[in-house]
Amino acid sequence: MSQNSARTLLKDVFGYEDFREKQSEIIARLFSGENILTVMPTGAGKSLCFQIPALMGDGLTIVISPLISLMQNQVEALKLLGVEAATINSTNSPEVNRGIWQKMQAGTLKLLYLSPEKLMTERMLDVVRGLNVNFFAIDEAHCISQWGAAFRPEYEGLSRLHKIFPHVPIIALTATADQATREQICEKIFSDNVKTYLTGFDRPNISLNVEIKNGWKQQLMRFLKNRQNENGIIYCLSRKKTEEAANMLVEKGYNALVYHAGMSGQRREENLNRFMTEPDLIMVATIAFGMGIDKPDIRFVFHTDLPASPEAYYQEIGRAGRDGQPAVAHMLYGMDDIRMRRMFIDDEAAGDDHKRRGHQRLNALLAYAEAPECRRYSLLHYFGDEPDFERCGNCDLCDNPKETLDATETGQKFISAIYRTGQYFGVGHIVDILTGKVTVRIEQLGHDDLPTFGIGKDLGINEWKSVARQLMARGFVISDMTHGSLKISDKGFKLLKGEADFRYRPDVILKKARMAKTSKAKKAIPDLPEEAQGLFQALKRYRKEIAAERHVPAYIIFSDKSLVDMAINQPVTLDQFGDIYGVGAGKKEEFGEKFIQFICENKENLS
């Protein structure tokens, strides 16, 4: 493979000058025949890692994706770039499918998007065997662990791909996978024959805020004050709550809609289309909404209830700020949320190991919620992305530090109990030892004879559990997601030896909600001169008109960043237009003359 050809495609087709971190290396390795697992944060350019190799090869790349809407959006975006792409799904007419089959047989189709259910039928697999397939790309690969055999058995069935097609490289991509999930993907999809790229989870433009729930309606309205003109998502645990919250917002003058699985497909589609095109709409939704929603200007994600896990939380907040501009993630949680989440896990039709991992992940999310210092540090540490900072300066605990107590000795007691029991046990057993609780298991193992037995009677069970979560949040203790046992990190051993300090944040119900600083979210359009503001707004309106005519989201036509570049540089020739950010050959041919004419007609009046 020639890296020059990859770079040429990057510029000519996609309109970008340079690859981002690791993209070039991933493309080279995939094109040379290696299997790849890549974990990149939302907005980091995962799709290019398989789209460019797909265009470099002579055959077909098959992309496996979980949602029809996600597949359709990506196909429409590629078509606008001049790329032959298609999706076969249940919404297609027979005529559309026949046209796709003809292109596949002729070898002119470059990318075919399929759901796992569609691909893993024997009929489709037989068809694929007769095609020249360059690669398989499994998008949203964390679904293999998240859903598995209980809900989407075909995701589990993707483990057969590398056996059926042993000479076809596979790339699996996700923005959300902790270490246990990554190991599961590597084992199931690749039989561990895979090169993994972990490029970091940090989304520094998203401000992270958490509040203990204390009247969610009032807390939501306080948050939304002065946000009437912003796009946002509000997540609720139940369908009933989404309707209640949306009605409240409409009564208060907000442009709000609902989205949940209990609505008709037509109504969901209508609401989704409005959300993708209107600049000030708030979607109040259950988790049925979100995957594949690539709207760049979502300014906030608000959780009225505790999400299911750190992975779910990260995936959901990742829908905000995809344009790189400041955004806010705000979460409420309370004891009722915790009880409800425990019940959901216990009632799930799954094995004990799956339920144990569910409880461990919920504990990790609570550790994030109870973190004594810097939420971003806690979140990144959970995903195995070691931060190079102690404080990020863009979360509520950095902006408004909570009162903490020196608890170095308390932390040493807890870690000592883990160490003396061989690092084989979970939080419950360690807390029983510290509080001097005599159980059958403790007697059988002789743990009532340990020096740490009963040395923590000054704290209650719930306080010790909070200590455990805060130790995990600050990276002193690691929870084994598979077995539930606690492990001591290098940092934890330093604490045990007195070479590090630990501070503890006591749980307190907030008497008055204090919003984190929002000054970072004030600046909407960076580096745009005052004289270009009017043209930029006019270009946004023009883009919206074109998108409405084509029945596609506005961002598929051009990103805001491209419009900013147009407003500043005001191209008057096609060559100049080709130098605009995000403009490749396809978009230059499709839109160049129209936008140049629009800019020439409007730049004088709007400057």
111 versus 229: the higher-pLDDT residue is 111
Distances (CA, A) of 329 to 204, 301, 415, 602, 606: 12, 5, 32, 37, 35
- Residues 570 and 541: beta-carbon distance below 8 Å: no
Determine whether 575 is exposed, middle or buried from the number of CB atoms within 10 Å of its CB (0-12, 13-18, 19+): exposed
- For the ranges 67-71, 120-124, 493-497, which has the lowest average pLDDT? 67-71
Q: What is the pLDDT of residues 250-261, one digit of tens each?
A: 999 999 999 998
* Same domain membership, residue 126 and residue 27: yes
pLDDT at 456: 93
Determine whether 340 is exposed, middle or buried from the number of CB atoms within 10 Å of its CB (0-12, 13-18, 19+): middle
**CATH code for the domain of 602:** 1.10.150.80
**CATH code for the domain of 452:** 1.10.10.10
Taking residues 113-122, what's their average pLDDT? 91
* Same domain membership, residue 348 and residue 213: yes
Is 50 exceeded by the pLDDT of residue 514?
no
DSSP H or E run through 8? helix 3-12
* Same domain membership, residue 551 and residue 495: no
Q: What percent of the chain has pLDDT over 70?
A: 93
In a domain, 523, yes or no: no
In a domain, 512, yes or no: no
pLDDT at 349: 74
pLDDT at 4: 53
Q: What percent of the chain has pLDDT over 90?
A: 42
State CA 530 to chain mean position distance. Answer: 34
Q: What is the pLDDT of residues 399-428, one digit of tens each?
A: 988 888 888 999 999 999 999 999 999 889
In a domain, 339, yes or no: yes
The tokens of 237 are what?
């645990």
Residue 227 CB partners (closer than 8 Å, separation 6+): 299, 300
In the predicted model, what is the mean pLDDT of the chain? 86
Helix (H, G, I), strand (E, B) or coil at 430: helix
Is 70 exceeded by the pLDDT of residue 336?
yes
pLDDT at 13: 92
pLDDT at 154: 66
* Same domain membership, residue 338 and residue 419: no
Q: How many CB atoms lie within 10 A of CB 403?
A: 9
The full DSSP string for 268-287 is HHHHHHHHHH-TT-EEEE-T
User: Can you tell me the distance from the alpha carbon of 397 to that of 374, in angstroms, rounded to the nearest whole number?
Assistant: 5
Residue that terminates a domain, selected from 503, 520, 550? 503
User: Can you tell me the distance from the alpha carbon of 524 to that of 327, in angstroms, rounded to the nearest whole number?
Assistant: 10
Domain enclosing residue 148, as ranges: 3-198
Confidence of residue 86 (pLDDT cuts 50, 70, 90): very high
User: Can you tell me the distance from the alpha carbon of 9 to that of 53, in angstroms, rounded to the nearest whole number?
Assistant: 10
* Same domain membership, residue 361 and residue 218: yes
Which of 46, 47, 55 is closest to 82 using CA atoms? Answer: 55
269 versus 377: the higher-pLDDT residue is 377
**CATH code for the domain of 306:** 3.40.50.300
* Same domain membership, residue 118 and residue 163: yes
Place of tokens 């569910």: 358
pLDDT at 71: 85
In a domain, 515, yes or no: no
* Same domain membership, residue 74 and residue 172: yes
Residue that terminates a domain, selected from 399, 430, 451? 399
DSSP H or E run through 212? strand 206-212
Q: What is the pLDDT of residues 278-296, one digit of tens each?
A: 889 999 999 878 766 778 8
User: Can you tell me the distance from the alpha carbon of 603 to that of 601, in angstroms, rounded to the nearest whole number?
Assistant: 6
* Same domain membership, residue 447 and residue 353: no
* Same domain membership, residue 229 and residue 128: no
User: Can you tell me the distance from the alpha carbon of 135 to that of 52, in angstroms, rounded to the nearest whole number?
Assistant: 11
The tokens of 286 are what?
């259950």
Is 90 exceeded by the pLDDT of residue 62?
yes
User: Can you tell me the distance from the alpha carbon of 591 to that of 579, in angstroms, rounded to the nearest whole number?
Assistant: 13
In a domain, 511, yes or no: no
User: Can you tell me the distance from the alpha carbon of 243 to that of 257, in angstroms, rounded to the nearest whole number?
Assistant: 9
Q: What is the pLDDT of residues 483-509, one digit of tens each?
A: 778 999 998 999 999 999 998 888 543
In a domain, 520, yes or no: no
pTM: 0.70
- For the ranges 456-465, 475-484, 536-545, which has the lowest average pLDDT? 475-484
Q: What is the pLDDT of residues 546-570, one digit of tens each?
A: 988 888 888 889 888 899 889 888 9
Taking residues 94-123, what's their average pLDDT? 91
User: Can you tell me the distance from the alpha carbon of 160 to that of 34, in angstroms, rounded to the nearest whole number?
Assistant: 17
The region, left, alpha or beta by phi > 0 then psi within -120 to 50, assigned to residue 498 is left
Taking residues 125-133, what's their average pLDDT? 92
- For the ranges 334-338, 384-388, 526-530, which has the lowest average pLDDT? 526-530
Rounded to the nearest 5°, which phi and psi values hold at 507? -70, 130
pLDDT at 465: 87
Taking residues 354-366, what's their average pLDDT? 84
* Same domain membership, residue 162 and residue 217: no
Q: How many CB atoms lie within 10 A of CB 602?
A: 16
Confidence of residue 51 (pLDDT cuts 50, 70, 90): very high
User: Can you tell me the distance from the alpha carbon of 602 to that of 48, in angstroms, rounded to the nearest whole number?
Assistant: 34
In a domain, 70, yes or no: yes
Determine whether 255 is exposed, middle or buried from the number of CB atoms within 10 Å of its CB (0-12, 13-18, 19+): middle
How many structural domains are present in the chain?
A: 4
Q: What is the pLDDT of residues 197-242, one digit of tens each?
A: 988 788 899 999 999 888 899 999 999 998 988 999 999 999 999 9
Residue that terminates a domain, selected from 167, 198, 229? 198
In a domain, 319, yes or no: yes
Q: Beta strand pairing status for 477-479 and 60-64?
A: unpaired
* Same domain membership, residue 183 and residue 74: yes
* Same domain membership, residue 155 and residue 24: yes
